[in-house]
Amino acid sequence: MKALLSHEPGGPETLRLEEVPDPQPERGELLVRVRAGAINYPDVLIIEDKYQLKPPRPFSPGGEIAGEIEAVGENVEGWAIGDRVIAVTGFGGLAEKILVPARAAYRLPEERSFEEGAALLLTYATSIHALLDRGKLEAGQTLLVLGAAGGVGLAAVELGKAFEARVIAAVSSEEKAQAARDAGADDAVVYPAGPFDRDGQKALAQLFKDAVGPAGANVIYDPVGGDYTEAALRSIAWEGRFLVVGFPAGIAKLPLNLTLLKSCDVCGVFWGAFAARDPQRNGAHVEALFKLWGQGAIAPKISGVYPLERAGESIAAMSERRVIGKLVVTID
Same domain, 56 and 181: no
Same domain, 39 and 172: no
Same domain, 22 and 88: yes
Q: Is residue 106 included in any domain, yes or no?
A: yes
pLDDT of residue 324: 95
Digit-coded pLDDT (tens) for 28-68: 999 999 999 999 999 999 999 999 889 999 999 999 999 99
Q: Is residue 73 included in any domain, yes or no?
A: yes
Same domain, 127 and 264: yes
Digit-coded pLDDT (tens) for 237-296: 999 999 999 999 899 999 999 999 999 999 999 999 999 999 999 999 999 999 999 999
Q: Is residue 60 included in any domain, yes or no?
A: yes
Mean pLDDT for 134-145 is 98
* CATH for 78: 3.90.180.10
Q: Is residue 27 included in any domain, yes or no?
A: yes
Q: Is residue 292 included in any domain, yes or no?
A: no
Integer Cα distance of 53 and 55 in angstroms? 6
Same domain, 115 and 14: yes
Task: Determine the structural domain holding residue 322 and report its residue range.
Answer: 2-120+300-330
pLDDT of residue 321: 82
The pTM assigned to this predicted structure is 0.94
121 closest CA partner among 10, 250, 244, 287:
287
Same domain, 147 and 113: no
Our count of domains for the chain comes to 2
Mean pLDDT over the full length of the chain: 96
Burial of 141 (0-12, 13-18, 19+ CB in 10 A): buried
pLDDT of residue 241: 98
Q: Is residue 326 included in any domain, yes or no?
A: yes
* CATH for 141: 3.40.50.720
Q: Is residue 141 included in any domain, yes or no?
A: yes
Asked whether the predicted pLDDT for residue 7 surpasses 90, the reply is: yes
Same domain, 188 and 256: yes
Same domain, 48 and 140: no
25 membership: H or E segment, kind and range: none
Percentage of residues of the chain with pLDDT beyond 70? 100
Q: Please, what's the largest Cα pairwise distance for the chain?
A: 62
